[in-house]
């Protein structure tokens, strides 16, 4: 039988324990789940390494992520929900735009690696989010994510390298992403009302009329936005051939 393993049983147990102890950490020190990735060589299965993968929730730009979702090894997709609260932010910010950040955290040990891809959400036709122009792009620091930020070059969301497939006892990466949404015109109507008040004084003389005018824009209701749209992050474990 040929192949590469971590060595003896004692070494494998020690490495697994070290990983599970929280070498891969996320927001507020939360430990991410890790699982083994195996490959078949000849008639036997050889453990190739350990991997971990997680994403934080969409967080308004300027804030620190406080929640995350970790993969359990059996599922390759993680979702970031986009719904009424994000629609409300787009309406409130129009026409300037709204921005959120999220992090992708990956780790691997042994001779395995990780790639991932990002799929843009499908919104309800005619809704607030559907009318907005969404852009997803990487930033080197969360502070760079603002409503007016934009990628310098086109971004390929199809295959993103998180951890290269090369032997190492432990490798970890954290990618920061920015999501912007701009809806230039969401107004459903514009109304102007004018009221004039006239009167007669105690002596019977006419009082000079008073006039007041107010106006309002009618905007769509974010609560009517569907809440099942999501940005999907799919990861792939790279194993030795």
Rounded average pLDDT per 10-residue block, the chain, 241 residues: 26 34 37 45 51 91 87 78 90 88 92 92 85 93 94 92 87 94 68 72 75 61 73 89 70
Strands 113-119 and 160-163: antiparallel
Q: What is the pTM of this model?
A: 0.71
- The pLDDT value recorded for residue 28 is 38
- The pLDDT value recorded for residue 68 is 82
- The pLDDT value recorded for residue 130 is 86
Q: What is the DSSP string of 19-79?
A: IIIIISB-GGGPBPPEEEEEEEETTEEEEEEEEEEEEEPPEETTS----EEE--SS--EEE
- The pLDDT value recorded for residue 19 is 35
Domain-by-domain residue ranges, the chain?
9-186+219-238, 189-218
**CA of residue 119 relative to chain centroid, distance:** 11
DSSP state of 204: S
- The pLDDT value recorded for residue 13 is 32
| Cross-sheet strand order for the sheet of 160-163 | 77-82, 229-238, 113-119, 160-163
- CA quadruple 135, 186, 228, 89: dihedral, nearest 10: 70
- The pLDDT value recorded for residue 211 is 77
CB contact set of 13 (below 8 Å; sequence gap of 6+): none
- The pLDDT value recorded for residue 219 is 54
- The pLDDT value recorded for residue 199 is 74
- The pLDDT value recorded for residue 73 is 64
**Residues 91/219, Cβ–Cβ less than 8 Å:** yes
User: Which residues in 85-126 belong to E strands, given as ranges?
Assistant: 98-110, 113-119
- The pLDDT value recorded for residue 214 is 60
Q: What is the 3-state secondary structure (H, E, C) of 144-191?
A: HCCCCCCCCCCCCCCCEEEECCCCEEEEEEEEEEEEEEECCCCCCEEE
């Amino acid at each position: 039988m040929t192949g590469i393993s971590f060595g003896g049983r004692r070494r494998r147990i020690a490495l697994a324990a070290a990983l599970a102890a929280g070498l891969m950490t996320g927001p507020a020190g939360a430990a991410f789940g890790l699982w083994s990735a195996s490959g078949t060589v000849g008639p036997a299965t050889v453990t190739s390494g350990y991997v971990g993968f997680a994403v934080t929730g969409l967080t308004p730009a300027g804030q620190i992520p406080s929640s995350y979702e970790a993969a359990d090894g059996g599922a390759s997709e993680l979702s970031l929900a986009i719904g009424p609260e994000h629609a409300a932010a787009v309406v409130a910010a129009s026409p300037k735009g709204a921005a959120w950040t999220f992090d992708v955290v990956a780790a691997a040990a042994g001779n395995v690696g990780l790639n991932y891809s990002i799929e843009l959400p499908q919104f309800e036709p005619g809704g607030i989010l559907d009318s907005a122009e969404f852009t997803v792009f990487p930033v080197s620091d969360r502070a760079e994510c603002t409503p007016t930020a934009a990628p310098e070059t086109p971004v390929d969301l199809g295959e993103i390298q998180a951890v290269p497939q090369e032997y190492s006892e432990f490798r970890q990466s954290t990618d920061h992403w920015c999501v912007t949404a701009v809806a230039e015109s969401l107004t459903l109507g514009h109304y102007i009302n004018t009221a004039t008040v006239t009167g007669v004084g105690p002596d019977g003389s006419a009082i000079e009329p008073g006039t007041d005018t107010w106006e309002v824009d009618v905007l769509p209701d974010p609560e009517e936005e569907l809440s099942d749209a999501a940005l999907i992050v799919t990861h792939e474990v790279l194993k030795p051939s």
